[in-house]
């Protein structure tokens, strides 16, 4: 055995095992060098592709949801860019101090967030908070590695509660939940695209590889609403609600020639930009969902049914003496004894006795058929969520009292939109039109799909002239009159029904009207539910809303006055008084 001596002269020997260890170390070194050369030269392309695949991701390309506009292009619902913060749980949980900073910045509960991320540790994508202002979201993402952003779009409603019942709103995933957003969701919704990208270790896109699917933004929707008129109607309804301490209120304004809805407002309302305030009772579009007995507002249609069948004409007279009569042991009463009235007088004085007498002159089937033709008991055709068809029982189940009270609007129920549509028949020379919340194309206006005559044109003309007297000095709707214009309309004051009868001293105030009489262009109907102070009659409560909104609408739409002599006479009288 060979050896060497150390500095002390002691012999140091290398045995065979020392050479074996040295050999092993040398072999491992050579193997590592060989493996490195193999990977760098032979497997270079394979490893490069594998590395790319571990960084390549297929990501979604967001797209805009379609904009909802009023008839003149004013935006009612738009999409604005926002960023959502997300993390990879396995990655972020390795850096809890950074996670705590991120959670604090986002205003989240740290313990709850950690628990949630641990529960989803097998996932690669978990939202921390969605739809944040982009600048703020960028600040959050900069706190730590492993915090990423995803671009989304948030729905914003510029007009807020003024048009919320019509437009509705979307959920956080941009899916329509109410109103036009829901009805036309397929039309409005965007189709996100997909693209293949390479991301760096921070998740940022460093290279676009290919576009798999092109993003398609949703299509815009042009509604029939005129926001100028919508604002005016909303403001007027809010004011009357407060003044009369009412429970709720609704109003509908229609284009008499096309059936387009120019304004539809409800109180109380809600702001669709504040999700927490979307209470179910506030979200309801009462103008389309809530029904009530229309009372005296139906009397013109009772007369129309009889006039169309030749039973009465403008000169016919009805004796209402002594101001009441009995039907099946129940009284039908007027406010006082009006004596003998012509048909215009029945409307002008709003005589229940006169309307009941006319209803009784008709067979039950005839009255029922006419009411059905005018649109009572059927959907007004808006196709809105939860839109009501009202209620009109079949004539075969009517009792004598039902037949009599039907003539002055008790025993059936309507929405305020249905009532407006029925008055549209009178305004449109006896033609019934379907209503629309979408701006009509010129060809659609000329050929409304369900336009048909359900009332003789001569009858409609006669009713217009009679209803004009209701708004005159001796009628019940003097406060609906508008200087310079001939206005036709009818009031209604209805006791609210409850199980087993009617509530005492609880009313609904109604008015429906048409303007101008010489060439009807607009129809409006108003209902105020439970006015509790400063009056409760339709002429006191609902008619002033009609006056304010309609007078502004006539001016804004540049509809020429048709009663200039009266306007001139009034002006002369004022000058003389001065």
Q: State the catalytic residues.
A: 296
Q: Which of 371, 106, 68, 425 is nearest to 259 (CA)?
A: 425
Strands of 226-344, DSSP E: 248-255, 261-267, 317-319, 324-327, 330-333, 340-342
Task: Decide if 546 contacts 480 (C-beta within 8 A).
Answer: yes
CA distance 240 to 237: 5
Closest to 341 measured CA to CA, from 361, 366, 364, 321? 321
The dihedral of CA 152, 157, 161, 163: what is its sign? negative
> Which tokens belong to 128?
């921390």
Q: Are 422 and 244 in contact (CB under 8 A)?
A: no
Task: Give Cα 113 distance to the centre of its chain.
Answer: 36
Task: Please tell me the distance from the alpha carbon of residue 253 to that of residue 5, in angstroms, as a whole number.
Answer: 116
Q: Is the dihedral of CA 227, 230, 236, 242 positive or negative?
A: negative
- Closest C-alpha among 85, 205, 98 to residue 136: 85
User: Do 489 and 466 contact (CB within 8 A), yes or no?
Assistant: no
Peptide bond into 40 cis (omega under 30): no
The DSSP secondary structure of 357-372, one letter per residue, reads HHHHHS-HHHHHHHHH
Take residue 76 and report the two structure tokens written for it.
């009612």
Q: Residue 21: is it exposed, middle or buried by C-beta count within 10 angstroms (0-12/13-18/19+)?
A: exposed
Write out the H or E segment, with its range, that includes residue 4. strand 3-5
Whether cis (ω within 30° of 0) applies to the bond prior to 301 is no
166 within 8 A of 225, measured Cβ to Cβ: yes
DSSP 8-state secondary structure symbol assigned to residue 292: B
Residue 377, both tokens: 């008991």
Backbone angles phi, psi at 195, to 5 degrees: -140, 155
Helix (H) or strand (E) segment spanning residue 99: helix 96-106
């Amino acid at each position: 055995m060979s050896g060497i001596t150390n500095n002390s002269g002691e012999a140091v020997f290398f045995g065979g095992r020392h050479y074996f260890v040295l050999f092993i170390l040398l072999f491992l070194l050579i193997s590592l060098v060989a493996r490195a050369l193999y990977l760098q030269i032979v497997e270079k392309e394979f490893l490069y592709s594998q590395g790319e695949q571990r960084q390549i991701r297929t990501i979604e390309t967001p797209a805009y949801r379609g904009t909802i506009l009023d008839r003149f292009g004013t935006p009612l619902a738009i999409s604005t860019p926002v960023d959502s913060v997300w993390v990879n749980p396995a990655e972020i949980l390795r850096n809890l101090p950074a996670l705590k900073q991120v959670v604090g910045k986002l205003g989240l509960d740290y313990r709850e967030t950690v628990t949630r991320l641990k529960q989803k540790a097998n996932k690669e994508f978990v939202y921390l908070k969605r739809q944040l202002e982009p600048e703020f979201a960028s600040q959050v993402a900069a706190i730590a590695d492993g915090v990423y952003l995803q671009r989304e779009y948030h729905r914003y409603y510029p007009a807020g509660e003024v048009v919320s019942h019509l437009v509705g709103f979307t959920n956080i995933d941009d899916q329509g939940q109410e109103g036009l957003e829901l009805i036309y969701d397929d039309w409005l919704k965007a189709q996100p695209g997909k693209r293949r990208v390479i991301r760096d270790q921070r998740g940022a896109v460093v290279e676009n590889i290919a576009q798999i699917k092109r993003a398609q933004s949703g299509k815009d929707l042009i509604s029939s609403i005129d926001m100028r008129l919508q604002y005016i109607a909303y403001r007027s309804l809010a004011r009357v609600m407060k003044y009369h301490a009412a429970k709720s209120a609704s109003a509908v304004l229609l284009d008499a020639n096309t059936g387009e809805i120019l304004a539809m407002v409800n109180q109380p309302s809600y702001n669709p930009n504040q999700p927490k305030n979307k209470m179910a009772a506030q979200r309801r579009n009462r103008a389309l969902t809530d029904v009530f007995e229309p009372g005296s507002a139906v009397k013109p249609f009772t007369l129309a049914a009889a006039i169309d069948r030749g039973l009465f004409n403008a000169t016919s007279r009805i004796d209402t003496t002594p101001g009441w009569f009995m039907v099946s042991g129940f009284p039908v009463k007027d406010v006082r004894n009006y004596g003998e009235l012509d048909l215009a007088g029945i409307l002008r004085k709003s005589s229940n006795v006169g309307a009941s007498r006319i209803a009784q002159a008709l067979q039950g089937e005839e009255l029922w058929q006419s009411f059905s033709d005018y649109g009572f008991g059927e959907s007004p055709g808006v196709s809105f969520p939860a839109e009501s068809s009202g209620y009109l029982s079949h004539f075969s189940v009517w009792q004598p009292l039902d037949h009599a009270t039907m003539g002055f609007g008790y025993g059936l129920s309507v929405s305020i939109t249905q009532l407006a549509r029925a008055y549209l028949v009178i305004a449109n020379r006896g033609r019934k039109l379907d209503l629309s919340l979408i701006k009509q194309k010129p060809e659609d206006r000329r050929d409304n799909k369900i336009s048909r005559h359900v009332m003789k044109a001569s009858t409609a003309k006669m009713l217009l002239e009679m209803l004009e007297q209701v708004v005159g000095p001796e009628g019940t709707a003097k406060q609906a009159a508008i200087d310079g214009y001939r206005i036709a309309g009818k009031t209604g004051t209805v006791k609210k029904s409850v199980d087993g009868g009617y509530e005492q001293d609880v009313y609904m105030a109604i008015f429906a009207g048409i303007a101008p009489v010489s060439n009807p262009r607009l129809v409006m109907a108003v209902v105020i539910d439970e006015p509790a102070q400063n009056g409760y009659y339709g002429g006191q409560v609902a008619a002033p809303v009609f006056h304010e909104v309609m007078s502004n609408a006539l001016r804004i739409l540049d509809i020429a006055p048709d009663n200039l002599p009266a306007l001139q006479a009034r002006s002369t009288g004022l000058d003389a008084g001065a």
